[in-house]
Amino acid sequence: MIFVDSTTVGWRSFLQAWLESKKDVKVVLEYFIEKYLDKILMFKKRQCFEPVPITDFSAIKTFVAIYDSIAFEPEANLKKYHASETAFSRSLEKWFLFCLIWSVGGAVNETGRVLIDHRLREIDPQFMPLRVIYEYYIDPKSNEFEPWEEKVPSIMPKSCPYYDMVIPTIDTLRYSHIIASLTSTNHRVLMCGSTGSGKTTMAINILSTLPQFFSGLTLNLSASTKSSTVQSIIESSLEKRSKDKLGPKDKKKRLIIFIDDLNMPKKTSTQSPSQPPLELIRQLIDHHGWYNREKSSWQHIFDCHILSAMTSSNGRVIPSRIQSRFNIINFVEPAEQQIVHIFQTILNSKFQSFPLDIKLQTVSIVKLMCRLYNEVKTNFLQTPNKPHFLFNIYDLSRVFQGILQIDKEHINSQTCLFRLCLHEFMRNFSDRFSQNDETRFTKILKTILLDHFGTDCKDLMTSSLGDNWNGPIYSSITDDDDNTTFRGNSGAYREMCNEREVMSLLRDKLATYNSNPINSHLDLVLFEDAIKHILRIYRVIQLERGNMSLIGNAGTGRETLSRIASNIAGAYFSMFEVTDNYIRKDFLEGVKTIHIKQVLRIKPLFGF
Ligand SMILES: Nc1ncnc2c1ncn2[C@@H]1O[C@H](COP(=O)(O)OP(=O)(O)OP(=O)(O)O)[C@@H](O)[C@H]1O
Ligand SMILES: [Mg+2]
């Protein structure tokens, strides 16, 4: 075996070999390499932070990949259309820079992007001001930098489940342009970035808009994923072409395998650098195949391509060997402007048929929610004894999911609308707080409301149920007792206005629960906190993909209240009793049992 040190060989010989294939533009490209490449590589190393560090060699490989997949065609066009050589080289310089920022500067964080932008302006101050260079694309017709922002279409989301809605933003446009170009020219991409930066959304969007000669497969890795599981999932999308050859089921299509959370699989031991599922994926990439586990014979795999994503903020790294097989693009957290755009578009679509005074409030709602979100994020930090103080865009997204439950018959004024928004915000954020934090949050909330609405905010936080209720309460709970179908008995989402009615409603529900002989008798006293909790749990069960973790001391009623709330929602309640000796097998058995019961009862699951 001969070891070759990457610093000895360096990236120059690789780049030189590539330049040899560039014939006509070789001299111009050499000039740009001289002008920019070394300086930016050096600058990045000294000044910029990369959440997932890449080597110079990887950066250059990505540069070549992006250039070949994006700038190839313009290069041909440029030669055709530009009579003047200076104009041609000026246009080519733009394409060169575009490839440079998304390769050498593609893995840096947000601050790094600004620094690289400054450095490029120092080298040549020809760039357009106003925005950082990452916010521009090159219009292939004019060969000029144009802002991505102007390309963002203002479309209404299709009627689809909330979690499937993807709103075009600068990020979706620029990342999908680069990733789709690289993918269609057989270059692998690894999307990195902090949690909630939109990697999975982007991949799913890319898979759903692939040209017809591609098909997609999504594979989610976790700490317990084994290499055999990866192999069998991928093989399930393949078919035998001949004795030792496998290919996608549809012969005319190429299979894009999206591997999410690539850095999750466990290492074989703390000292070992290897994560078996990743080694198998690397083998597939390098050798286009793997061994059949039963026959131990080699199987060639054709027409498969890998796209992957991983969260860089969870501290897990992958071996540099597999990392080097990918072109790395770092996803920065969406800017507030983009978050506002996403949720404003979703609300605009929802409120289309609502009265005008409601429709006009979407901007104000989104701004208020984003401001509250930022305040909570900065004032309520995660500590060892408050691990659940982890607020990200997922929570904000759930606030808007909650708002979408309302229909126009139950919103008759702007005040009503803002009360709903505050209710959703509190359910997603302040419900995690203890008494002290809640008091602190209420103070912050009051200040922000005063600032946002002036003195008109008095009515927003008063509860129609009584002084102790801390804000308005919305629910879809009704006195309809047909709980044979899940969500079949839920009423319209509306504000609860009468404490006595709510109490008697829940008392009736409890009586119905107790009257069923298969339920163990619950002797509940429905005091105020118990009612609050039942309504909160019921609300989450009703939401699509609603998950909840109930935290509290023993005896605070988490199990009992979940039982009753799931019964009201018509959901099947099942409990996993976790003991000291609880192992993975027990969990899988438990999941199997509730799935069998679900099939028999035709009701959704509600595990506890
Ligand atoms: N363009 C968009 N349109 C609609 N929703 C979006 C968009 N971008 C992000 N979101 C929302 O932001 C949230 C986070 O997105 P996503 O799950 O893709 O992040 P991620 O980077 O994969 O995070 P993680 O590292 O935790 O897996 C989701 O709730 C998603 O619906
Ligand atoms: Mg994800």
With a 6 Å cutoff on the Cβ, whether 310 touches ligand 1 is no
With a 6 Å cutoff on the Cβ, whether 205 touches ligand 1 is no
Burial of 4 per CB tally in 10 Å (0-12, 13-18, 19+): exposed
Tell me phi and psi for residue 458, to 5 degrees.
Answer: -55, -45
Q: Which of 201, 316, 390, 545 to mutate to test the pocket of ligand 1 (most atoms within 8 A of CB)?
A: 201
The whole-number pLDDT of residue 453 equals 84
Q: How far is the CA of 446 from the centre of ligand 1 (A)?
A: 30
The whole-number pLDDT of residue 127 equals 75
* Contacts with 35 (C-beta within 8 Å, 6 or more apart), sequence order: 123, 124
With a 6 Å cutoff on the Cβ, whether 72 touches ligand 1 is no
The interaxial angle of helices 362-379 and 414-428, nearest 10 deg, is 30
The whole-number pLDDT of residue 4 equals 74
**CA distance linking residue 578 with residue 559, whole number of Å:** 13
**CA distance linking residue 436 with residue 385, whole number of Å:** 14
With a 6 Å cutoff on the Cβ, whether 195 touches ligand 1 is yes
**CA distance linking residue 318 with residue 305, whole number of Å:** 19
With a 6 Å cutoff on the Cβ, whether 165 touches ligand 1 is yes
Q: CATH for 475-607?
A: 3.40.50.300
* Position in ligand 1 atom list of the atom nearest CA 261: 27
Q: How far is the CA of 195 from the centre of ligand 2 (A)?
A: 7
**CA distance linking residue 305 with residue 362, whole number of Å:** 42
The whole-number pLDDT of residue 456 equals 64
Token pair recorded at residue 542: 């009703």
Of the ligands numbered here, which is closest to the C-alpha atom of 195? 1
The whole-number pLDDT of residue 527 equals 84
The whole-number pLDDT of residue 96 equals 92
The domain covering 6-151 belongs, at the CATH homologous superfamily level, to: Dynein motor, AAA2 domain, small subdomain (1.10.472.130)
With a 6 Å cutoff on the Cβ, whether 571 touches ligand 1 is no
Q: How far is the CA of 182 from the centre of ligand 2 (A)?
A: 20
Q: How far is the CA of 162 from the centre of ligand 1 (A)?
A: 12
Q: CATH for 166-331?
A: 3.40.50.300
With a 6 Å cutoff on the Cβ, whether 201 touches ligand 1 is yes
Every domain of the chain and the residues it spans: 6-151, 166-331, 336-461, 475-607
* Contacts with 30 (C-beta within 8 Å, 6 or more apart), sequence order: 19
Q: How far is the CA of 54 from the centre of ligand 2 (A)?
A: 21
The whole-number pLDDT of residue 608 equals 56
Q: What are the pLDDT digits (tens) for 102-160? A: 999 999 999 999 999 999 999 988 777 788 999 999 988 888 899 999 999 887 777 78
Residues forming beta bridges with residue 191, ordered by sequence position: 309, 329
Q: How far is the CA of 429 from the centre of ligand 2 (A)?
A: 21
- Tell me the three state secondary structure of residue 272: coil
* Position in ligand 1 atom list of the atom nearest CA 338: 1
* Position in ligand 1 atom list of the atom nearest CA 260: 27
The whole-number pLDDT of residue 486 equals 65
Domain 6-151 and domain 475-607, same fold? Reply is no
Burial of 479 per CB tally in 10 Å (0-12, 13-18, 19+): exposed
Of the ligands numbered here, which is closest to the C-alpha atom of 313? 1
CB atoms within 10 A of CB 401: 20
With a 6 Å cutoff on the Cβ, whether 176 touches ligand 1 is no
Q: How far is the CA of 166 from the centre of ligand 1 (A)?
A: 9
* pTM for the predicted model, two decimal places: 0.87
Of the ligands numbered here, which is closest to the C-alpha atom of 199? 1
b/e code 10-41 from CB counts within 10 Å (16+ = b): ebeeebeebbeeeeebeebbeebbeebbeebb
With a 6 Å cutoff on the Cβ, whether 167 touches ligand 1 is yes
Are residues 483 and 489 in contact, defined by beta-carbon separation less than 8 angstroms?
yes
Of the ligands numbered here, which is closest to the C-alpha atom of 392? 1
Instruction: Give which of 551, 533, 531, 552 is closest to 541, Cα–Cα.
Output: 533
Low-confidence ranges of the chain (pLDDT < 50): none
Burial of 324 per CB tally in 10 Å (0-12, 13-18, 19+): middle
Q: What are the pLDDT digits (tens) for 192-207? A: 999 889 999 999 888 8
Q: How far is the CA of 56 from the centre of ligand 1 (A)?
A: 30
With a 6 Å cutoff on the Cβ, whether 197 touches ligand 1 is yes
Rg (CA), the chain: 28
Of the ligands numbered here, which is closest to the C-alpha atom of 260? 2
Q: How far is the CA of 163 from the centre of ligand 2 (A)?
A: 12
Taking CA atoms only, the protein residue closest to ligand 1 atom 14 is 196
For 336-461, the fitting CATH number among 1.20.920.30, 3.40.50.1110, 1.10.1370.30, 2.60.40.1150 is: 1.20.920.30
With a 6 Å cutoff on the Cβ, whether 225 touches ligand 1 is no
CB atoms within 10 A of CB 241: 15
* Position in ligand 1 atom list of the atom nearest CA 310: 25
Are residues 83 and 200 in contact, defined by beta-carbon separation less than 8 angstroms?
no
**CA distance linking residue 116 with residue 193, whole number of Å:** 18
